[in-house]
């Protein structure tokens, strides 16, 4: 058995673990990184990257058949589903070197390609190596949650971990789960030529603003996706090449089944009890400093920390951890400035409080300002001006923003910055943006906040009339 002593042992080579490893080793710490599966984690191999690549293929197919309004004849896209999947894997391969063993070893990280598990409060074993570390970071991420639906084990089903390896286009894809993963894959597949049915036990996009979600849902239905809400999947059965899902709202039969009902944290292989690390089904029990509540040598980053499950949150957690791990400085996470986006068409994005959440928290102090994207000149020119932005404002400062429309995932960044830095609406209103751009919607909604104060104020009008009487 080999033994290694190190400053920092990181379990998991996904976004959070790699970010901590890169930062720590370049600042002089000795770092051991353990990864028993694929470097880059879920995002690179099964999540953000492959899904956006497939969405890009689907977007291209959709554009070919919707050119007439631009003076370009519609054409029926000839979709090579296997080639689209080749594109997906080409994209993964292009990004993979940034997350590779070779790159991190080049930075000075000791990479062990084995799963890590605790054998004591200060020791982790990976294969035939025992690592004794001053600090241990758990960054094992999450995987697809597959509920115990009656009959599910009798049929072939896919999750995000293997849907991107499917080479034959589904005739009829049934998606169980109406969250971001399910809806993105539903639209991608309908645009690539599959019939698609989405079955959701509650409401589609249930974590987003209902008004904004309704706009996305309407467009998905218009593209031909069947969306069944409030329909819990009770039983699944297979007959020949067909799969049937039984729900209170009827039975739905298709050729392929995608399970997209949520995520579960990857903690089963860690032997956390031996490390004295308290946990729940939702992840490691940590404080705002991301430090284990039961073992002060252990920290968590990313999905396994039990909070928001996004790749960019894992990267943010790395930034929170570095001051504490390397310099012993206090550092705490916050969540009010964390944005998220769903990359359907139209896109759906959120940062901070939704309108309902802001109303509950701030009551009469809340002002909600809106701007409809059909007034944006750039989007009018591109005939993509369906959408809406809402900003929740308290005492002149944004506390939340909801966006639905083209490039919502890009537009939300300005509001994430504003909330993170406690900026006032005037900071956005004073920003000069190039014309014509989609980003002008952010400035226009800020203008909508000030317009009543300027153009509907009797006081302002009296002052102007007075000044005009005396101006030379």
What would the pLDDT profile of 146-183 be if each residue is shown by its tens digit? 999 999 999 999 999 999 999 999 999 999 999 999 99
Q: What is the mean pLDDT of residues 207-218?
A: 96
Indicate if the pLDDT at residue 192 is higher than 80. Answer: yes
> Could you tell me how many residues make up the chain?
472
What is the Cα Rg of the chain in Å?
Answer: 25
The pLDDT value given to residue 1 = 84
**What does the pLDDT look like over 359-400, one tens digit per residue?**
999 999 999 999 999 999 999 999 999 999 999 999 999 999
Please give the pLDDT value at position 451.
Answer: 80
Mean pLDDT of 227-231: 98
Q: Is the pLDDT of residue 466 over 90?
A: no
The reported pLDDT for the residue numbered 407 is 97
pLDDT tens-place string over residues 87-105: 999 999 999 999 999 999 9
Would you state the pLDDT for residue 102?
97
Domains 152-263 and 339-455 share a fold: no
DSSP string, 223-248: TT-EEE-S----EEEEETTEEEEEET
Secondary structure (DSSP) of 61-74: HHHHTS-GGGTS--
Q: How confident is the model at residue 276 (pLDDT cuts 50, 70, 90)?
A: very high
* Choice among 57-61, 332-336, 341-345 with the minimum mean pLDDT: 332-336
Please state which CATH number belongs to domain 339-455.
3.30.390.30
Which tokens belong to 180? 């971001």
Mean predicted confidence (pLDDT) in 284-293: 98
Distance CA 349, CA 180 (A): 11
In the predicted model, is pLDDT for residue 80 greater than 90?
Answer: yes
- pLDDT value at 462 more than 90: no
For residue 209 the two structure tokens come to 């603003």
Question: Does residue 428 carry a pLDDT above 80?
Answer: yes
Answer whether residue 456 shows pLDDT above 80: no
Tokens linked to 461: 């009008």
Task: Give residue limits of the domains in the chain.
Answer: 2-39+100-143+264-327, 152-263, 339-455
Q: What are phi and psi of 228, to 5 degrees?
A: -110, 110
Task: State the CB neighbour count (10 A cutoff) for residue 30.
Answer: 17
CATH of domain 152-263: 3.50.50.60
Name the nearest CA neighbour of 286 among 339, 297, 132: 297
Tell me the average pLDDT of the chain: 96
Distances (CA, A) of 120 to 271, 275, 300, 326: 9, 5, 17, 22
Question: Which pair of tokens denotes residue 96?
Answer: 């993979």
Q: Which residue has the higher pLDDT, 469 or 20?
A: 20
- 469 has pLDDT over 90: no
Architecture of the CATH domain 2-39+100-143+264-327: 3-Layer(bba) Sandwich (3.50)
Question: What pLDDT is recorded for position 285?
Answer: 98
At residue 467, the pLDDT reads 83
For the chain, percent of residues with pLDDT exceeding 70: 100
pLDDT at position 457 over 80 = no
């Amino acid at each position: 058995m080999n033994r290694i002593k190190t400053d920092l042992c990181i379990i998991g080579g996904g976004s959070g673990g790699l970010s901590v490893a890169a930062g720590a080793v370049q600042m002089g710490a000795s770092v051991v990184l353990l990864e028993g599966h694929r470097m880059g984690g879920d995002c690179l191999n099964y999540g953000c990257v492959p899904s956006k690549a497939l969405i890009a293929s689907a977007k291209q197919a959709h554009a070919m058949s919707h050119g007439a309004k631009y003076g370009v004849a519609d054409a029926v896209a000839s979709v090579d589903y296997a080639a689209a999947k080749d594109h997906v894997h080409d994209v993964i391969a292009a990004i993979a070197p940034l997350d590779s063993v070779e790159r991190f070893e080049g930075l000075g990280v000791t990479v062990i390609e084995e799963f890590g598990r605790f054998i004591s409060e200060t020791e982790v074993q990976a294969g035939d190596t025992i690592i004794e570390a001053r600090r241990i970071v758990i960054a094992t991420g999450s995987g697809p949650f597959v509920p115990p639906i009656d009959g599910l084990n009798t049929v072939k089903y896919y999750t995000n971990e293997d849907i991107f390896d499917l080479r034959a286009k589904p005739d009829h894809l049934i998606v169980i789960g109406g969250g971001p993963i399910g809806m993105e894959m539903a639209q991608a597949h309908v645009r690539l030529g599959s019939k698609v049915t989405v079955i959701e036990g509650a409401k589609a996009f249930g974590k987003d603003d209902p008004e904004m979600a309704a706009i996305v849902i309407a467009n998905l239905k218009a593209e031909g996706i069947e969306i069944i809400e409030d329909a819990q999947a009770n039983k699944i059965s297979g007959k020949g090449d067909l799969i049937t899902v039984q729900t209170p709202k009827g039975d739905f039969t298709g050729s392929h089944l995608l399970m997209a009902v949520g995520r579960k944290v990857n903690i089963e292989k860690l032997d956390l009890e031996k490390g004295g690390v308290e946990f729940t089904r939702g992840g490691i029990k940590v404080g705002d400093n991301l430090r284990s509540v039961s073992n002060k040598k252990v920290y968590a980053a990313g999905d396994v920390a039990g909070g928001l499950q996004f790749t960019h949150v894992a990267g943010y957690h790395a930034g929170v951890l570095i001051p504490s791990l390397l310099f012993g400085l206090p550092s705490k996470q916050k969540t009010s400035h964390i944005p998220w986006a769903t990359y359907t068409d139209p896109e759906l994005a959120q940062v901070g409080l939704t309108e309902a959440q802001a109303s509950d928290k701030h009551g009469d102090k809340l002002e909600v300002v809106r701007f409809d994207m059909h007034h944006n000149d750039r989007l009018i020119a591109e005939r993509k001006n369906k959408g809406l932005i809402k900003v929740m404002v308290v005492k002149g400062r944004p506390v939340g923003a909801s966006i639905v429309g083209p490039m919502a995932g890009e537009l939300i960044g300005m509001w994430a910055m504003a909330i993170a830095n406690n900026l006032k609406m005037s900071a956005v209103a004073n920003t000069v943006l190039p014309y014509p751009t989609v980003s002008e919607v952010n400035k226009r909604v800020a203008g909508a906040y000030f317009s009543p104060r300027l153009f509907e104020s009797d006081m302002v009008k009296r002052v102007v009339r007075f000044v005009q009487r005396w101006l030379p």
